[in-house]
Structure 1
């Protein structure tokens, strides 16, 4: 297995010639990985071919239920993916124990050539295949910030308004991860439909939380600034009456809390031109720059909340965390 994982093709050949063929070649480790699956992970094409010629099974799954197709796609090895699909007729639609497909993993890890190839093989219905969390390949691309892949998926019919089992959209997940470029990309998809753009900003998940709420809790300063520019409501609360600012305070994200607690936002207005939050989102306004525009660290809990001079306004900010 070690030789296969490192692509030592000559060593693998010697081992096979010395009798390590038959059932031995499919010996599994504690994770149910075989010499073949380890060679696929590393992308050693010649070693994979050698093992297949020695009758290594390409239909064995690892401990997570991943097939050779999933492993090849997840690691971005397009030649191996083609080999398994064309020569060994393996399925594109097999799922692992999390319900995820080859396309889902290729999208998550940014392998655009693999995504492009897979989309050419799939039907429109298969592009939005759901995993066990009801998340699609597009959701994973949004989380990781791959706009090119998002465009590829959209061009093949992926739904950027899809809601997962918690009622969260790709936009919500992108906001939580601080993917500002993705948020701009998704908003511009609705540029000609201002009503849809505003709905995207104000959509609440099953816990009553907006994209701004998730961004604030994670300390995504630039994301919060972007969402405010586009007209999201800074005073929107979840089912527990927690506002985005309260989530920021709970996690010690003081700069985010300052931005959300400015005089204008406190009165329901956007900083800058004091435009009502119900304004059309196609004309984002400029927010006043902060002294430190870097995304605030989640570990900024050492900053004192009292420094905000917000005495009496930090309701719900204490305690060990907010459950949603």
Structure 2
């Protein structure tokens, strides 16, 4: 990647990007053809520069939004983990709807990352923009549902949002009773880690009643 382009992405400098494009209209195209996986969209998404992300998405939606970095993450994964809501929103608004279900190298979707980190506002945004059924039914290679991930990472508020979303779906009971690769349900994990609020929610508000 052009050093000036990299620096512009790191700083979120849209003016510098415009200047580069005037000087070389194909500077972004060359990035998309290079062997290096990182793009300016990856860099700006991780840094939370929504204006820069918006500009890139207007220019090159299809070529950058779906690409995985050398570490195996798409821009939406990189924006989700640190909680850059406006960047996630921009990517979802301007990108392909399949971004909601895009898996990283480890087989995790943006909703998996949001559940793990407890990014409630991003969870709500993803559920708003993505088909609930498809987003909620995705499991990790370890057989973990989004409920598993929230509980394993002690993210009770995220668990509540996801549990309420799950209740509206036909396969709610199946999801609540699902076992990860170690054969553990969400309730078993909650009990083992003394997450009383989660246990009470599951017992009182689900099929365990």
TM range (shorter): 0.7 to 0.9
Alpha-carbon distance in 2 for matches of 1:97, 1:242: 41
Offset of residue 189 of structure 1: 2.1
SS in 2 for 1:237: coil
SS in 1 for 2:176: coil
1:113 pairs with 2:44: no
2:139 touches 2:145 (CA, 8 Å); kept in 1?
A: yes
SS in 2 for 1:113: helix
SS in 1 for 2:101: coil
1:161 pairs with 2:91: no
Unaligned runs of 5+ in 2: 167-171
Offset of residue 71 of structure 1: 2.5
Question: Which structure carries more helix by proportion?
Answer: 2
1:83 pairs with 2:23: no
Aligned to 2:121: 181
Aligned to 2:77: 139
Aligned to 1:265: 202
Aligned to 2:139: 204
SS in 2 for 1:261: helix
Cα gap change, 1:98 to 1:209, in 2 (>3 Å): farther
Unaligned runs of 5+ in 1: 1-57, 60-66, 191-195, 278-324
Aligned to 2:169: none
Deviations 1:240-298 (A, max 9, x none): 11333555567x5x3xx212322x624xxxx3xx4549xxxxxxxxxxxxxxxxxxxxx
1:134 touches 1:165 (CA, 8 Å); kept in 2?
A: yes
Alpha-carbon distance in 2 for matches of 1:226, 1:179: 10
Deviations 1:197-222 (A, max 9, x none): 13322321111111122211221111
Equivalent positions of 1:172-321 (< 5 A) are 172-190=112-130, 196-231=131-166, 233-247=175-189, 254=194, 257-262=195-200, 265-266=202-203, 271=204, 274=205, 276=207
Q: Highest CA radius of gyration, 1 or 2?
A: 1
Count of aligned pairs: 197
In angstroms, what is the RMSD of aligned CA positions?
Answer: 2.9
Aligned to 1:14: none
Deviations 1:36-79 (A, max 9, x none): xxxxxxxxxxxxxxxxxxxxxx95xxxxxxx3312321222222
Offset of residue 179 of structure 1: 0.7
Greater RCO, 1 or 2 (C-alpha within 8 Å, sep 6+): 2
SS in 2 for 1:201: helix
Q: Structure 1-normalised TM-score? A: 0.53
1:218 touches 1:248 (CA, 8 Å); kept in 2?
A: no
1:126 pairs with 2:64: yes
Aligned to 1:298: none
Q: Structure 2-normalised TM-score? A: 0.79
